[in-house]
Chain A
């Protein structure tokens, strides 16, 4: 993965800035340069797309996790809040 775009941005630059780019924490001018780099660099485009997809998949997977009812009951019991157990919708 060694590639330098004509504007001087390298694959290494993209990698170092990948997280900040995904999180929208970069200056607009830097974002534009990274975008231009990815237009000419298939590998960096793939790394960007698959990384954002990876984050999304974990968010989708884990947000489905729920506390099992018996775990919730034992927690409320441990905290002496049993009488509030029925309040959940």
Chain B
């Protein structure tokens, strides 16, 4: 979840104060690494995005106008870097075509087993954790970025929209689709797990 935004001095950051820059890196690098890892599903790519993000942040700090919060601005740079990395790695893969029927028909849930009361130790055992990781990698990237920023990093709808250059309505639509998509994947997995244990 989102770390509490530390009290950083924008003046010192803009002036290139190394102590303040180190505090900024300490505060935001865990979140940015987490976001990049889950966006890309690859440790090396995540590290590249982490480094490039902070290099760009350092370079652009002097021009940061504070129209959004510092954290949203950093997330925005990181999300852009991650999406560019995806395009580089999979040039044939079009992010623009990925989300179809954006405002159209509603996604219909199919899996109706109730696994929500399973004990947490079972829901998050080693095998289940792998399933969670697999499921999020099958989530279309445009939905994944919204889910990660909103539900995992705890940004508001407005902040997520700012970070991804989307309208708030688009964020809400994608968030619903992402949540239902992951619910469906986990439901299929836990339903099978419950059946095997009977």
Binding site for B on A (CB under 8 A): 1, 12, 15-16, 18-20, 22-23, 25, 43, 45-47, 49-55, 57-63, 65-68, 71-72, 74-76, 78-79, 81, 84, 87-88
Return chain B residues, CB-CB under 8 Å to A62: 34, 38, 148, 152
Identify whether the interface residues of A are mostly helix, strand, loop, or mixed: helix
Asked whether A15 lies within 8 Å of B106 as measured between CB atoms, the reply is yes
A-B contact count (CB 8 A): 128
Among B5-54, those with CB < 8 Å from A are 18-19, 21-22, 25-26, 29-30, 33-34, 37-38, 43, 47, 50-51, 54
Asked whether B22 lies within 8 Å of A81 as measured between CB atoms, the reply is yes
Asked whether B33 lies within 8 Å of A65 as measured between CB atoms, the reply is yes
Asked whether A54 lies within 8 Å of B186 as measured between CB atoms, the reply is yes
Known: A50-B116, A74-B47. A1 touches B109 (CB 8 A): yes
B38, B136, B183 pick with most chain A CB within 10 angstroms = B183
CB<8 Å pairs between A and B, sample of 10: A19-B179, A46-B116, A50-B115, A50-B116, A58-B152, A58-B182, A61-B132, A63-B152, A75-B54, A81-B18
Return chain B residues, CB-CB under 8 Å to A50: 111, 114-116, 183, 186-187
Q: Which residue of A is nearest B185, CB measured?
A: A54
> Does B113 touch A at the CB level, under 8 Å?
yes
Return chain A residues, CB-CB under 8 Å to B51: 74-75, 78-79
Identify whether the interface residues of B are mostly helix, strand, loop, or mixed: helix
Q: Which residue of A is nearest B186, CB measured?
A: A54
Separation of A11 and B111 alpha carbons in the complex (Å): 15
Asked whether B124 lies within 8 Å of A47 as measured between CB atoms, the reply is no
Among B99-146, those with CB < 8 Å from A are 106-109, 111-116, 120, 123-124, 129, 132-133, 136
Return chain B residues, CB-CB under 8 Å to A23: 157
Asked whether A46 lies within 8 Å of B114 as measured between CB atoms, the reply is yes
> Does B180 touch A at the CB level, under 8 Å?
yes
Report B156 CB to chain A, min CB distance, Å. 9
Asked whether A61 lies within 8 Å of B124 as measured between CB atoms, the reply is yes
Separation of A45 and B187 alpha carbons in the complex (Å): 14
Asked whether B108 lies within 8 Å of A1 as measured between CB atoms, the reply is yes
Query: Which of A46, A52, A58, A72 contacts B29, CB < 8 Å?
Result: A72
Known: A54-B179, A81-B25. A60 touches B124 (CB 8 A): yes
Asked whether B124 lies within 8 Å of A57 as measured between CB atoms, the reply is yes
Return chain B residues, CB-CB under 8 Å to A43: 109, 112
Report B165 CB to chain A, min CB distance, Å. 20
Among B46-68, those with CB < 8 Å from A are 47, 50-51, 54-55, 58
